[in-house]
Each structure stands twice: as structure tokens, then as C-alpha cells.
Structure 1
């Protein structure tokens, strides 16, 4: 298992951590100047001096990025999210962003190492993202970590997510947009769950499906 360090495949400029808009966003410089700055190593002197316009919750205003990650690490939830990346799935960025919002332990990209980070909106700076060359590698890692693998796919024989008991320690595994999970992923999973649908479409977007499944885990196990 490795962390991705290759650039994404797009030539477009990447998103910025700093929010922009018609008016001021975030907070300005710390009131009172340097003499009033908090004596706490978590705080970043540049942010204290210039203001913090990042897209972070108020709890982390003025904090160094490393301090934010360390604080998240102390309270991440014991579920992971994995997605097969066979054809450069554009949903991976969205999944990373959602995983960050729900404090997932990590996101695992299976297959192609490169992924388009635009949809992550720079949350990959705060969310652990790992790479596995293939499904076999992911499954071996999950077994070594004593994590149940829960595949989410609307294929034959899948049980309803809405009535399933999600394991607390697990990997929620999703397939490539359009083609779904590979046979190897389905065969290696401890459970295969489907999301109930009531309209005419055959499937829903992979990023949306991941968000639904993560929220189902939160409803079952997180302290609200």
C-alpha cells in the first residue's frame, strides 16, 4: 500500500484551498496583532498575521495544516472507503471530499494510481489516500487489518443497505462509474449491499452512492 505522489491527468489548473467569492470569506488577521497571538504550536504565524480564508471549519481556524491532520487522526472513524480506478474515474475526488467530511480513516484507490483531484477541492491534504495496484492487494491489506470488506453494488444477490448491519470496522468498496465492481471485488467481499432505488435509472452516480453508504455508517456508529 502506498500514498499517491503522481500528478493528476488533467491539464486544467487545480482547485485552491483558499475560497473566493464576492465578499470576505473566513476570518481576518488575529485581533490585537502579534502581541495577542495565542501561545500554541498548532497556530500558524502567517495565518494569524494575514487571516485564514481556507475552507475549514471554525475549529481549525489559524491552525497549521499538520496540526489539523493530527487532530483528525486522533478522532477518525474506523471505516475506510475504496474505489476501483480502471478508467480514471472522475468521481474519486468527490469521494475523497465526502470521506473527509465524515472523518473516514482513509480512502483507497485501487488500480490506476493517478486520479483527478479537482473534485476533492484540496481535502486530500487532510484526508489519507492510499493506492493498491489491484483488488487482491486491497483485500490482503484489509484481512491483515481485520477489516470487513463491504462491496456496494446493485448486482444480483446484493442485500439492501437500508436493512443491513454495517460492521464498525470495515472497508466500503465501490466500483468504476458505469461498469460497477469487477467480479474479483465482488467475489472477495464479505458482503455485497445495494442501495434501494425507486425510479427508472439503472444505477446512481458512484460518488453519490459512496456518500449514501458513508452516511449509513455514520448513522449506525458515529457519536452525533
Structure 2
């Protein structure tokens, strides 16, 4: 039987870098164990050999002002993918609304570098958004939704996603200051929630991010 390719969980030895050559740096951002044994993590070169806490601290100075939220009422396996994508686009934080537990495998350990928050229900989430001045942008293919391809997204916002099939709950849609949809041309009503999240996050990046800050 053909074996699956390597993942974050089973990295091949040649992935990443080996032990630090020569004299070790005195900078306390560096992890002595990684310097000694090598850094096989899936991180950008700028963060090679850094402690996890140092990476998070540095990222905190680079994160964008948009947040991402997803309703979790069916233990959706796509949440991990959403977290991984939010990390790639330097989202300020990811919010899980509903069930606290979710399948982290799809995050490919990026959840270690991403701020994660839990809200028991949509009311608690809405209260958080109001207190922090974040516009709630619901993403759902419902009548009256603005096409993401032509919509102007707020800079300080939280992008709220439902789950493929049921979509957002009625309470989630009512909490939103705007609802956007993704243009589709095939036979199905919905697309994968992880894919949808990536599309909308990238739309925010194209509109608001400084591309000079990308790796």
C-alpha cells in the first residue's frame, strides 16, 4: 500500500535545518535545544531556532486587525484549516463560538502561534465584538448578501463563518453588520468552510494589508 506523504506530524529528517553551525547566538529569543539538535518545524526562515514564545511575541507586532470566528456546533473538522489559514494571513485572533473542543489536526500545529478564544454562544461572541469595536462580517450565501468580489470590507472586523451545509445560525446572521457571499458557478450551494475562509481572508489582505510586510 502506498504510504502517505510527510506532514507536520511526521516530518522527514531533511525538512528544516540542522544544528546551528559555529558559535551560538547570545540572543535569548533562540532555543538552546533547537540550536543543538536542529529546527525541523514548519516556520519561515526568519524564525528558525526561535523559542515559540519569542515567535508569538514577534508576530504580535505584525498581526493584522481582522479577526476570524467560526461557529462550532458539529465538531467541524474544517476549523483546523481555518486556524492554519488565519495564521498564514496573520489574523489578530481566531474565535471558536459554541463547542469548545475542535479537531486540531488540520491546524498543522499553527495553533501554537495563533491567539485562540472561545465564546460559549453567539451572544457572548457578539458582546465581545461590540466591546472591542469590531464589525461583524458574516460569510454566507444567503439572499441579500454582498458579493465578496465587490464588497468593501471594514479594516477592523471579525469575519464570521458557519459550517458547510447548515451555514451560519440565525443568531449569527442577525449579529452581523454586513453579510458577504462568494460567487460560485457550479452545481453545489456551498463550498468547504476552510476554502471559504481562505477566500475571504485573502480579500481582506488585498484590500488592507501592506504587501511589503509579507515574507
- The question of a shared fold, defined as TM-score above 0.5 by the shorter chain, is answered with yes
**Contact 2:137 / 2:177 at 8 angstroms: preserved in 1?**
yes
Matches within 5 A, 1:72-83: 72-83=59-70
Q: Aligned to 1:28, which of 10, 18, 36?
A: 18
Total equivalences in the alignment: 206
CA deviations over 1:109-161 (Å, ceiling 9, x no partner): 00001000010011100001110001111111001000000000001111111
Q: Distance in 2 between matches of 1:77 and 1:121?
A: 21
Unpaired runs of 5+ residues, structure 1, are: 1-14
1:55 aligns with 2:42: yes
> Would you say the 8 A contact 2:164–2:190 is kept in 1?
no
What SS class does the counterpart of residue 173 from structure 2 fall into? Answer: helix
The Cα shift of 1:177 comes to 2.2
Q: For 1:162, what is the secondary structure of its paired residue?
A: coil
Q: Under a length normalisation based on structure 2, what TM-score does the superposition of the two structures give?
A: 0.93
Match of 2:113 among 126, 144, 154: 126
1:81 partner SS: strand
Counterpart in 2 of 1:173? 160
CA distance in 2, matches of 1:75, 1:147: 18
| TM superposition shift of 1:19 | 5.4
Equivalent in 52, 65, 85 of residue 65 of structure 1: 52
TM-score (norm 1): 0.89
1:201 Cα deviation after fit: 1.4
Query: What CA distance in whole angstroms lies between the structure 2 residues aligned with 1:216 and 1:19?
Result: 32
Provide runs of 4+ in structure 1 moved above 4 Å: 15-19
Q: Look up the match of 1:219.
A: 206
* Contact 1:94/1:120 (8 A) holds in 2: yes
Deviation at 1:16, TM superposition (A): 7.7
* Residue equivalent to 1:116: 103
Report 1 or 2 for greater relative contact order, CA contacts < 8 Å, sequence distance ≥ 6. Answer: 1
On the 8 A contact 2:137/2:176 being kept in 1, the answer is yes
Name the counterpart of 2:131.
144
CA offset digits 1:70-95 (Å, max 9, x no partner): 00011100000000001101100000
Over the residues paired in the alignment, what is the CA RMSD in angstroms? 1.3
Distance in 1, Cα, partners of 2:9 & 2:187: 40
